[in-house]
Amino acid sequence: MFSKILIANRGEIAVRILRACREMGINTVAVYSEVDRDALHVSLADEGYCIGPPAAADSYLNQSAILTVAAAAGAEAIHPGYGLLSENAEFADLCRQCGIAFIGPAPEVIAKMGDKEEAKRTMQGACVPVIPGCGLVADLEEAEIRALEIGYPLLVKARAGGGGRGIRLVKTGGELKGAFLSASEEARSAFGDGGVYLEKYLDHVKHIEVQLLCDNFGNVVCLGERECSLQRKNQKLLEESPSPAICGDMRERLTEASVKAARAVGYTGAGTVEFLVDGEGAFYFMEMNTRLQVEHPVTEMVTGIDIVKWQIRIASGLPLDFTQSDVSLRGHSIECRINAENPAAGFRPGGGRVSLLHVPGGPWVRFDTALYQDYMVPPYYDSMIGKLIVHAGTRQEALRKMRAALCELTIEGVDCNRDFQLELLQSDAFQSGNYTTGFIKSGGLND
Ligand code: ADP
Ligand code: ADP
Ligand code: MG
């Protein structure tokens, strides 16, 4: 087992990983930007090093600075968290060259799955159903021809996209040009790659994803599914496990397809296969996230398995010590993402000083955050400042527990979406479980 790990991230996920390391008796190295000197992840780590100015591009994405710190501090492994460098194949490869373990799959696997268009082709080859569409389109002319073949409505999607970026809906031919250019441009500036492909737009579908753990000895275990259909602008807001819409037979079919997907690329570590599922029970592979996901806690709650600890154990070469038949899903878990944003002002993100913080407690209530009283939320990073997670015997009970916990959560000094989350919980669509990805904009709740 590793004796020292560097955490190449910040915020709640850096804290989450630090806690796992501490429990495992592993020393920790934090890296931070100039504005994060007083961040919680820095004070919880055994050592901390400043790696540059506030902008992530100059600090948390500065590969050579991070590797220099890792080497100097004697870290044997790097945990990238989510976002930032977590799906950067070049960085994973650099780690390998430096003799430092990257806690995630091999760089070749990240590259293959990180190109969403290539990933779809690979999955087709492995007989996993994919969303109908076409391969990379070279220019607008080709896009027009392919669009006619696919039919409207469709999506222009960036092959390098992530976090809901680089996706544009095209309802009619007249909108294609603008969508093609803006998706491509957004992807070029966000990911340095403007390549796009087209995909049939599926309406009234659910986003269902399957969590996997794969060790280096060919063992693949599935930890059930997560329902992530509550989204705003293609970004998840609230997640639950199990999905209220997935029955035992469907779960088996999704599991089988996910295991096939992982085996087809020789996947190792924790990974998530994302699907869209329609009202008839047909499902389509959308993408695979080759990293820890934001919403991993709901899976931890229903399985009792610590996903971060297993990521670390697998990267250090340990085999999974349980099999599929040992995994049982107990009860129901819900997560609400708490974002520093103002729903009344178009969800404008904002920072500020936390003048009052009260975190709900009680049995089976978990709040993953890097906030503390008087903490200054900097404006430079992702607006997610916390995740409220509850677990209960039934969905109804989990819902009531979440409502109570949200009501108790108090964050003053910084705008946040707590009341919007309460509204979502109380909506008929959410209560019934029959909600789909278009719910928020389709008038169920207007943003
Ligand atoms: P999850 O599926 O884990 O919920 P999200 O899509 O919400 O993931 O993204 C998690 C975090 O990572 C967000 O902060 C998002 O902005 C960021 N992110 C996701 N994909 C990328 C990417 N390709 N490049 C940069 N950041 C990304
Ligand atoms: P990202 O890499 O940004 O997470 P995804 O490909 O996973 O992008 O898509 C993000 C979200 O966009 C999905 O969860 C879903 O709500 C919506 N979406 C993506 N592809 C389609 C599609 N073909 N039809 C309808 N909705 C889609
Ligand atoms: Mg996705």
Nearest one of 263, 224, 230, 228 to 247, comparing CA atoms = 224
DSSP conformation class of 130: B
User: Does one domain contain both 160 and 257?
Assistant: no
Å from CA of 318 to ligand 3 middle: 29
Domain housing 347: 206-444
Residue 160 included in any domain: yes
Bridge partners of residue 369, in order along the sequence: 386
- Within 10 Å of residue 124's Cβ, how many Cβ atoms? 12
- Residue 388's identity, in one-letter code, is L
Return the C-alpha torsion angle 14, 19, 25, 30, nearest 10. 30
239 lines ligand 1 (CB under 6 A): no
Asked whether 31 and 78 are in contact (CB, 8 A), the reply is no
**Do 272 and 308 fall within a single domain?**
yes
pLDDT, tens digit (0-9, with 9 covering 90-100), for 309-346: 999 999 999 999 999 999 999 999 999 999 999 999 99
Cβ count near 37 (within 10 Å): 11
Q: How far is the CA of 421 from the centre of ligand 2 (A)?
A: 21
Q: Is residue 291 part of a domain?
A: yes
* Catalytic positions: 291
pLDDT of residue 443: 56
- Which residue's CA is minimally distant from atom 17 of ligand 2? 234
Any atom of ligand 1 within 6 Å of the Cβ of 162: yes
Same domain, 40 and 58: yes
Which pLDDT does position 441 carry in this prediction?
80
Ligand 1: residue whose CA is nearest its atom 12: 83
CATH of the domain at 47: 3.40.50.20
Q: Helix or strand or coil: residue 189?
A: helix
Q: What are the DSSP E strand ranges found in 108-264?
A: 133-137, 154-162, 165-170, 196-200, 206-214, 220-232, 235-241
213 plus 187 within the same structural domain:
no
Question: Ligand 2: residues within 6 Å at CB?
Answer: 131, 155, 161-164, 167, 199-202, 205, 207, 231, 234, 274, 276, 286-287, 437
Q: Are strands 154-162 and 196-200 parallel, antiparallel or unpaired?
A: antiparallel
Q: What is the pLDDT of residue 321?
A: 98
69 pLDDT above the threshold of 80: yes
Q: Residue 375 pLDDT > 70, yes or no?
A: yes
pLDDT for position 72: 98
Query: What pLDDT does 94 receive?
Result: 98
In a domain, 115, yes or no: no
Q: Probe ligand 1: pick from 294, 336, 384, max atoms within 8 Å of CB?
A: 294
Q: How many Å separate Cα 217 from the centre of its chain? A: 26
Phi/psi at 432 (nearest 5 deg)? -75, -20
**Inter-residue contact 312 to 103 (CB < 8 Å):** yes
My answer on whether 360 and 437 are in the same domain is yes
* Cβ 423 vs Cβ 208: under 8 Å: no
**Nearest of 416, 412, 226, 421 to residue 336 by alpha carbon:** 421
- 262 and 180 inside one domain: no
Q: Tell which residue, 307, 315, 273, 294, has the closest CA to residue 128.
A: 273
Going from the Cα of 279 to the center of ligand 3, the distance in angstroms, rounded, reads 20
Angle, nearest 10°, between helix axes 116-125 and 248-264? Answer: 110
* Minimal-distance CA residue to ligand 2 atom 15: 234
Helix%, strand%, coil% for the chain, nearest 5? 35, 30, 35
User: Which residues are within 5 Å of ligand 3 (an ion), measured at CB?
Assistant: 274
Tokens of 352: 């500020």
Distance CA 424, CA 392 (A): 19
Mean pLDDT of all residues in the chain?
97
Please report, as a single letter, which amino acid is at residue 333: S
Does 187 lie in the same domain as 84?
Answer: no
Q: Indicate whether 220 and 267 sit together in one domain.
A: yes
The pLDDT-based confidence of 444 (bands split at 50, 70, 90) is: low
Examine the domain organization and report whether 211 and 196 are in the same domain. Answer: no
For residue 365, the domain's CATH number is 3.30.470.20
Q: Is residue 119 part of a domain?
A: no
Q: How far is the CA of 114 from the centre of ligand 1 (A)?
A: 12
Q: Round the CA-based radius of gyration of the chain to a whole number and report it.
A: 21
Domain count, the chain: 3
User: How many CB atoms are located within 10 Å of the residue 408 CB?
Assistant: 14
pLDDT confidence band for 378 (50 / 70 / 90): very high
Question: Is residue 15 within 8 Å of residue 41, measured between CB atoms?
Answer: yes
pLDDT at residue 446, as a whole number: 61
User: Looking at the predicted structure, is the pLDDT value of residue 87 above 70?
Assistant: yes
348: Cβ–Cβ under 8 A, 6 or more apart, which residues?
341, 342, 415
At position 193, the amino acid (one-letter code) is: D
Residue with CA at minimum distance from ligand 2 atom 21: 201
* Alpha-carbon gap, residue 122 to 238, rounded angstroms: 30
pLDDT in tens, 225-245: 999 999 999 999 999 999 999
